[in-house]
Structure 1
Amino acid sequence: MSLPTVAIVGRPNVGKSTLFNRLVGKRIALVDDRPGVTRDRREGEGRLLDLEFRVMDTAGFEDHDPASLPGRMRAQTEAAVREADVALFLIDGREGLTPLDEEIARWLRSGKTPVVVAANKAEGSAGEAGRLEAFALGLGEPIAISAEHGEGLVDLFEVLRPHVEHEHFQTEAEEVEEGTGPLKMAIVGRPNAGKSTLVNKMLGEERMITGPEAGITRDSISLDWQWNEKAVRLVDTAGLRKRAKVEDKLEKLSAMDTRRAIDMAEVVVLLLDATRGLEAQDLRIADQVIEEGRALVIAINKWDVAEHASSLFNGVKAALEEGLSQLKGVPVLTVSAKTGKGIDQLLGAAFEVRDSWSKRIPTGELNRWFERAIEQNPPPAPGGKRIKLRYITQVKSRPPSFVVFGTRVDQLPTSYQRYLLNSMRRDLDLGPVPLRLTMRAPKNPFHNKG
């Protein structure tokens, strides 16, 4: 399925190739202060937050004999604009409008391709005068950007979004991003919680050295295997102790290795020792997993020898609810690494939370939820000034990450952001996985005041 197309147009040396390089994420187009460096149409796959599109860098638009080289370059530019879903017309915000800018605007107005105008080289407020001048082009409200420094990209996202956001394309992207490869699962916990014994039981063979001495496992070991015809990449890690107790150099390296394993994992299983219950260090490990944005499952091991099992389980759940207040409802299961009981349930829960962790919500569904959530509980008005939340978009999955656009969002209380996250988990079936929520406001001082 073809991507929507953005054609960057403008007179020579306004920064078209610099913007092209920024959108495609690599230096493909040559950039130089001399005009005329770009001669052909150059294409690449661009990305801006969650928008994906084909971007075309065109030669500078000049008025020359069609048979000359500049004339042929202009013909290429005209063809690019005809093919595009939207033309991004770049002017130099510092220089302001020129007669050639006005000529290009007349040509763009005569065509059928939608046009958005951006005043480039507008670091800080350097291009504000040029941006305001560009209103005279009759092509709608111009935005201010700096292609070189990456400023104004949120505003660029806003103006391009209506032209290049296609639900059918995002659905295709969802399928690509959904976790269909091996489940990357790290097993972490305090020393001697039974991690290696659990791995051996899962594999059905003695792959790990085990014993009563804490700290036998020094390295993170990656193992590929199958569970119910599903691929699993299992990482058994060295135990994490309190930093104050990590004195031995080898143990320091093991702790670093465990942190790397968490970073590489999709799902992290925190293994507790039923004979010792939940300790402060367990909560610190769990907090680290959540901070790293990984999906978390808690497994209480040695359940076959646990005393007062029911009160122990309820106590662990209550302590987790209190100690992990930022993420409610983390799955808690009981296992016995020695007998193998509970291992199937543990793996089933791990695959389930990975599905939630990899989930993408279609933009339409997400914004319908957003409108309902705001209607049910409008944002506050600090100092009598209304905070207006305009729309939300998912910028990535694994973990699901969202950006909310609006005005005065810097004054939105943390409690309201927490309300949005909790509603999202409940209404969009995102489950107990870390979510990321960022607030963004347009930078243009005259943008949609009110």
Structure 2
Amino acid sequence: MAFKVAIVGRPNVGKSTLFNRLVGRRIALVDDTPGVTRDRRVHPARLQNLRFDVIDTAGLEDAAAPTLEARMRTQTEIAIDEADLVIFMIDAKAGLVPDDQTFAEIVRRKGKPVVLVANKTDVRGAEAGVFDAWSLGLGEPVAVSSEHGNGMVELRDAIAAVAGEMAEETETKEVPAEGALAGDDVDADAEEPAYDPDKPVRIAVIGRPNAGKSTLINALIGEERMLTGPEAGITRDSISVEWRWRGRSIKLFDTAGMRRKARVQAKLEKLSVAETLRAIRFAEVVIIVFDATMPFDKQDLQIADLVIREGRAPVVVFNKWDLIEDREQTLAELREKTERLLPQARGLRAIPVSAETGRGLDKMMEAALATHAVWNRRVPTGPLNRWLEAATARHPPPAVAGRRLKVKYMSQIKTRPPGFALSCSRPEAMPQAYVRYLVNGLRETFDIFGVPIRIALRTSENPYAGRAKRRRG
């Protein structure tokens, strides 16, 4: 088992930049604004032939208990407790500040092995900050530049020396292949021969700010893993968590809240939204969290439409159900609105839950896995074309410009989501109303409810086309 390394220090010393360097790709959000990182993130890392798990943490700040900064500090202290080794980072360019002394004492009291790192040494005058780091009493500082990769050899040697036997046990192990998102190494759109009910599932939780996404994930996994609170927009990164539900491996992605595009002005919020979009594209199931006290805001519908257009398997969740009084009538109204306002995925599963009390979470997971199975459904060509023949006999294709359209055959060309190719005489003239008729028939006949269905219209080539021209030539 790989040993864990936590990167800690005050805000804006370059912890996330070093985290990205060790992981080998840009995963954590990086910005000049202090306090960008709020949740702790764990990912396999590699430093030359050394393998370990690295934990990115929020900047240590001295703050009162009820504040967001204090909750961030608690998350960082949990990361230190989980780690086998701590990288304590300072900003050599800025030099030592009183907070560095205070937080170095906290790390020292934890009793974990420490590697002292002086970052940003690629600028003039940083040597003084490196020498000052000796006064922290954490050993010899390693001078690095996380942004440019300077000092990584020295850092590797320092980690190996402090880790001792733990490093020797993991030097020969391989890390997972690099993917496009934190912890991912499989393309969500890759074809599979058959649905495997035991295969791990990737689930992203998305929604507007303050809908209760992080609280929902904490309730699922049974620990305060995600930073939560009454403030809107606490989550900034897309954080992945490994979890098991009823014996099945699940990877959960917590994401930043998505506001209306016109309101997203700050650079940092744009980066957060971009991370959320990536999480949607590489998830399989997307749980869309609505605030049950104010559901179906225009932004809620836009988020749901985005998920459906991306071809993911959507599940709608009405959170904060404990605040609803007339629950039976409210649920009937909400489900009716779901069908009416989101017809793109007819039969969309809508589940009431309360992240605070834990009510409805098992039903939500059952709905998520049932939707995942439908998303992977494959229909045999024989039954598909027998249904198509009956559907076209019952409701023939219309005539366009005096010529009736001909529908020849249909085959399923992909799953995840189900995609079909329809061979017809003039694809460009086929009315969308008739395509919707076929989609609805597919849903009802083959039980493909709650996921997007895509139909590609194609025409078969005429083998005799051009023969007359060749004769005349």
Q: TM-score range by the shorter chain?
A: 0.5 to 0.7
Aligned-partner Cα distance in 1 for 2:395–2:425: 17
- Report SS of the residue matched to 1:217: coil
Aligned partners of 1:267 and 1:431: how far apart in 2? 14
What is the distance in 2 between the residues matched to 1:325 and 1:387? 26
Q: Distance in 1 between matches of 2:414 and 2:211?
A: 35
Q: Which residue of 2 is the match for residue 205 of structure 1?
A: 223
Q: Aligned residue pairs: how many?
A: 277
Corresponding residue for residue 295 of structure 2: 277
Question: What residue is the counterpart of 1:376 in the other structure?
Answer: 394
Shift of 1:179: 6.2
CA distance in 1, matches of 2:418, 2:276: 24
Q: Is the 8 A contact 1:179 1:358 kept in 2?
A: no
* Equivalent in the alignment of 2:339: 321
Is 1:237 aligned with 2:255? yes
**Which whole-Å CA distance do the structure 2 matches of 1:338 and 1:200 have between them?**
10
| Cα drift, residue 276 of structure 1 | 1.9
2: CA distance, partners of 1:337 / 1:324: 24
Q: CA deviation at 1:178?
A: 5.0
Are 1:364 and 2:387 counterparts?
Answer: no
Q: CA deviation at 1:389?
A: 1.0
1:418 aligns with 2:436: yes
Match of 2:55 in 1: none
2:348 counterpart SS class: coil
Q: How many Å apart are 1:208 and its aligned residue?
A: 0.6
1:398 aligns with 2:416: yes
1:342 — aligned with what? 360
Could you tell me how far apart the structure 2 residues matched to 1:248 and 1:307 are? 38
Amino acid at match of 1:320: T
Per the alignment, residue 304 of structure 1 pairs with 322
* Cα deviation code 1:100-154 (max 9, x no counterpart): xxxxxxxxxxxxxxxxxxxxxxxxxxxxxxxxxxxxxxxxxxxxxxxxxxxxxxx
User: Distance between the aligned counterparts of 2:194 and 2:455, measured in 1?
Assistant: 23
Structure 2: 5+ residue runs without aligned partners?
1-190, 466-473
* TM-score, normalising length: structure 2: 0.56
Q: CA deviation at 1:244?
A: 1.8
Q: TM-score, normalised by structure 1?
A: 0.59
1:386 aligns with 2:404: yes
Match for residue 256 of structure 1?
274
Shift of the 270–393 alpha-carbon distance from structure 1 to 2, 3 Å rule, reads same
Shift of 1:197: 0.7
Question: Structure 1 residues 230 and 201, CA, compared in 2 at 3 Å: closer, same or farther?
Answer: same
> How much does 1:301 deviate?
0.7
CA distance in 2, matches of 1:263, 1:338: 28
What corresponds to 1:443 in structure 2? 461
Give the percent of matched residue pairs that are identical in Structure 1 and Structure 2. 47
**Offset of 1:431 from its aligned partner?**
1.6
The SS at the match of 1:326 is: helix
Q: Is the 8 A contact 1:191 1:215 kept in 2?
A: yes
Output one character per residue of 1:377-416: Cα deviation in whole Å (capped at 9) or x when no partner.
Answer: 1111223322111111111100111101121232221111
TM-fit CA distance, 1:445: 6.9
The DSSP-based 3-state class of the residue aligned with 1:427 is helix
The match for 1:146 is: none
Does the C-alpha gap of structure 1 residues 265 and 382 become closer, same or farther in structure 2, counting only changes over 3 Å?
same
In structure 1, C-alpha distance between the alignment counterparts of 2:344 and 2:247, rounded to whole Å: 34
Shift of 1:277: 2.4
Superposed, which structure 2 residues align to 1:129-208 within 5 Å? 175-176=193-194, 178=196, 180-208=198-226
Structure 2 Cα separation of the partners of residues 317 and 362 of structure 1: 32
Q: Distance in 2 between matches of 1:269 and 1:313?
A: 18
Do the aligned partners of 1:197 and 1:208 also contact (CA within 8 Å) in 2?
A: yes
Cα drift, residue 174 of structure 1: 6.0
The SS at the match of 2:365 is: helix
Paired residues of 1:304 and 1:336 also in contact (CA < 8 A): yes
Q: CA deviation at 1:421?
A: 0.4
In the alignment, what sits opposite 1:220? 238
Contact 2:346 2:449 in 1 (8 A): no
**Structure 1 CA distance for aligned equivalents of residues 330 and 302 of structure 2:** 20
8 Å Cα contact 1:336/1:342 also seen in 2: yes
Q: CA separation in 2, counterparts of 1:248 and 1:208?
A: 23
Q: For each residue in 1:20-62, what CA deviation from the matched residue of structure 2 results, as whole angstroms up to 9, or x when unmatched?
A: xxxxxxxxxxxxxxxxxxxxxxxxxxxxxxxxxxxxxxxxxxx
Residue equivalent to 1:105: none
Aligned counterpart, 1:430: 448
Tell whether the 8 Å contact from 1:174 to 1:359 is kept in structure 2 after alignment.
no
**Which deviates the most, 246-255 or 226-235?**
246-255
Query: Which residues of structure 1 form unaligned runs of 5+?
Result: 1-172
* Partner amino acid, structure 2, of 1:239: G
Structure-2 separation of matches of 1:340 and 1:439: 45
Deviations 1:267-295 (A, max 9, x none): 11111112222211100000000000111
Taking the aligned partners of 1:419 and 1:174, their CA distance within structure 2 comes to 28
Aligned to 2:74: none
1:180 deviates by 4.5
Deviations 1:52-108 (A, max 9, x none): xxxxxxxxxxxxxxxxxxxxxxxxxxxxxxxxxxxxxxxxxxxxxxxxxxxxxxxxx
